[in-house]
Amino acid sequence: MTPEHLPIEQYDAQLAEKVARLQSLMAPFAAPAPEVFRSPVSHYRMRAEFRIWHDEDDLYHIMFDQETKQRIRVNTFPAASSLINALMPAMLDGVRDIPALRYKLFQIDYLTTMSNQAVVSLLYHRKLNEEWQEHAQALRDKLRAQGFNVHLIGRATKTKIELDQDFIDERLTVAGKEMIYRQVENSFTQPNAAMNVQMLEWALDATKDSSGDLLELYCGNGNFSLALARNFNRVLATEIAKPSVAAAQYNIEANEIDNVQIIRMAAEDFTQAMNDVREFNRLKGIDLKSYQCETIFVDPPRSGLDADTVKMVQAYPRILYISCNPQTLCENLETLSETHNVSRLALFDQFPYTHHMECGVLLTRK
């Protein structure tokens, strides 16, 4: 399979295999049948990264086959958004004949939104100077004249040059309400925007009868926090990455939400604070005991929740867990199932045509 030819006719079979695999993994926990959410079959990825291959006077995007390590030329990439596919040849045309932009360029990263905005980052194995910046500005202006709402960034070792800004603002309609999400270059964002909407709407439905407050760990740019705020009195959320916290604060204001509080700290540190193990300056002025959190939401990295956080999470009557790695989710469930039942299970096909699965579980105390 090449990137130009996704086996769209195989989508149903691949999705069915994922459903069967998830059911098998979740069988020990008496989970209900999964609610299955399909992805668009093409143009679903809002971000993509390509290495750049230089071939005498030409250059082009490439990817490497993960199994064979074979180099694959990528002229079009149906998995990526239509905007990325339109930008790819435009970027190469703008760089190819300009030595200041082409010399030692080794990668181009694309981040786009459904609201038709883009950030394109050019990565180099050399220092970037004023000449690079002048030509990059000319390229940006040329792209905008062609109708692209694009921002360019240059990156090299210990160097980042923003021509104007390093973010774009996504607009998603979630359960009838438009949400604004600032997305920062080189920070985590949900790659499949259409699937993100389905995940948010499922989480809203799973918590529609909630009472009290919500505690969220690993909140990123507030993707779930802000959407779920309508179901709770207050939301207290943690995130360690500084750019994501800044984006979350912007998103709170942009969406005119007044019941969400973001704290910049690691989930492990917050667990220590909740257990009165340590005091943290970042929590000064925040009365943790005033929150009546009956629901906790976690969307951890692939490694899952650490042992201490799993124990802390067990104290909450309802646990909403989004996982990008069902294997580590099951490892966590070995402990969580001692106190909670899996009352809802969802499969989100975030990454079609791969073995990766994203899933969600709602756990309720026994």
- At residue 324, the pLDDT reads 93
Residue 190 is labelled as binding a ligand: yes
Work out the pLDDT band at 131, boundaries 50, 70, 90. very high
- At residue 1, the pLDDT reads 43
- At residue 3, the pLDDT reads 44
Q: Please indicate whether residue 358 is annotated as part of the active site.
A: yes
Residue 239 is labelled as binding a ligand: yes
User: Exposed e or buried b for every residue in 272-304, given b needs 16+ CB within 10 A?
Assistant: bbbeeeeeeeebeeeeeeebebbbbbbbbeeeb
Work out the pLDDT band at 53, boundaries 50, 70, 90. very high
User: Is residue 260 located within the same domain as residue 360?
Assistant: yes
- At residue 279, the pLDDT reads 76
Locus of tokens 């109708």: 147
For range 214-241, the mean pLDDT? 93
Q: From 134, 168, 202, give the residue that closes a domain.
A: 168
Q: How far apart are CA 77 and CA 229, in angstroms?
A: 36
Q: How far apart are CA 248 and CA 360, in angstroms?
A: 22
Say whether pLDDT at 18 is over 90: yes
Locus of tokens 């105390």: 365
For range 82-100, the mean pLDDT? 97
Q: How far apart are CA 276 and CA 143, in angstroms?
A: 54
Q: Is 222 inside any structural domain?
A: yes
Q: How far apart are CA 200 and CA 181, in angstroms?
A: 13
- At residue 269, the pLDDT reads 81
- At residue 169, the pLDDT reads 96
Tokens encoding 275: 């257990």
For range 197-218, the mean pLDDT? 94
Q: φ and ψ at 106, to 5 degrees? A: -120, -10
- At residue 280, the pLDDT reads 77
User: Exposed e or buried b for every residue in 227-249, given b needs 16+ CB within 10 A?
Assistant: bbbebbebbbbbbbbebbbbbbb
User: Is residue 237 located within the same domain as residue 260?
Assistant: yes
Work out the pLDDT band at 218, boundaries 50, 70, 90. confident
**Catalytic, out of 185, 219, 358, 359:** 358
Enumerate helices (H) and strands (E) in the chain, giving the number of each: 10, 17
- At residue 301, the pLDDT reads 87
What's the pLDDT tens digit per position in 230-289? 999 999 998 988 999 999 999 999 999 999 999 888 877 887 777 777 777 777 777 777
Q: Is 220 inside any structural domain?
A: yes
Q: Is 127 inside any structural domain?
A: yes
Query: CA 284: distance to chain centroid?
Result: 30
Residue 130 is labelled as binding a ligand: no
Three-class SS state of 359? strand
- At residue 7, the pLDDT reads 63
User: Is residue 121 located within the same domain as residue 226?
Assistant: no
Q: Residue 355: exposed, middle, or buried by beta-carbon count in 10 A (0-12, 13-18, 19+)? A: exposed
Three-class SS state of 6? coil
**Catalytic, out of 219, 293, 324, 359:** 324
User: Is residue 37 located within the same domain as residue 75?
Assistant: no
User: Is residue 293 located within the same domain as residue 250?
Assistant: yes
Q: Please indicate whether residue 185 is annotated as part of the active site.
A: no
Locus of tokens 């809203």: 204
Q: From 135, 168, 201, give the residue that closes a domain.
A: 168
User: Is residue 107 located within the same domain as residue 249?
Assistant: no
Q: How far apart are CA 350 and CA 305, in angstroms?
A: 21
Q: How far apart are CA 365 and CA 363, in angstroms?
A: 7
Q: Is 183 inside any structural domain?
A: no
Q: Which amino acid is at 70?
A: Q
Mean confidence (pLDDT) of the chain: 92
Q: How far apart are CA 204 and CA 45, in angstroms?
A: 23
For range 296-321, the mean pLDDT? 92
Q: Is 186 inside any structural domain?
A: no
User: Is residue 258 located within the same domain as residue 335?
Assistant: yes
CATH value at residue 110: 2.40.50.1070
Q: Is 182 inside any structural domain?
A: no
User: Is residue 338 located within the same domain as residue 219?
Assistant: yes
Q: How far apart are CA 270 and CA 282, in angstroms?
A: 10
Locus of tokens 């966590």: 332
User: Is residue 142 located within the same domain as residue 53?
Assistant: yes
Say whether pLDDT at 136 is over 90: yes
Give the strands of the sheet with 293-298, arranged side by side: 35-37, 340-348, 358-365, 318-323, 293-298, 213-217, 235-239, 260-264
For range 88-99, the mean pLDDT? 97
Looking at the 3D structure of the chain, how many domains does it have?
2
Q: Is 174 inside any structural domain?
A: no
What's the pLDDT tens digit per position in 155-164? 999 999 999 9
User: Is residue 25 located within the same domain as residue 97?
Assistant: no
Say whether pLDDT at 137 is over 80: yes
Work out the pLDDT band at 8, boundaries 50, 70, 90. low
Q: Is 181 inside any structural domain?
A: no
User: Is residue 335 located within the same domain as residue 215?
Assistant: yes
CATH value at residue 208: 3.40.50.150
pLDDT more than 70, % of the chain: 98
Q: How far apart are CA 70 and CA 266, in angstroms?
A: 39
> What is the extent of the structural domain holding 106?
47-168
Residues ≥6 apart with Cβ < 8 Å to 134: 100
User: Is residue 32 located within the same domain as residue 82?
Assistant: no
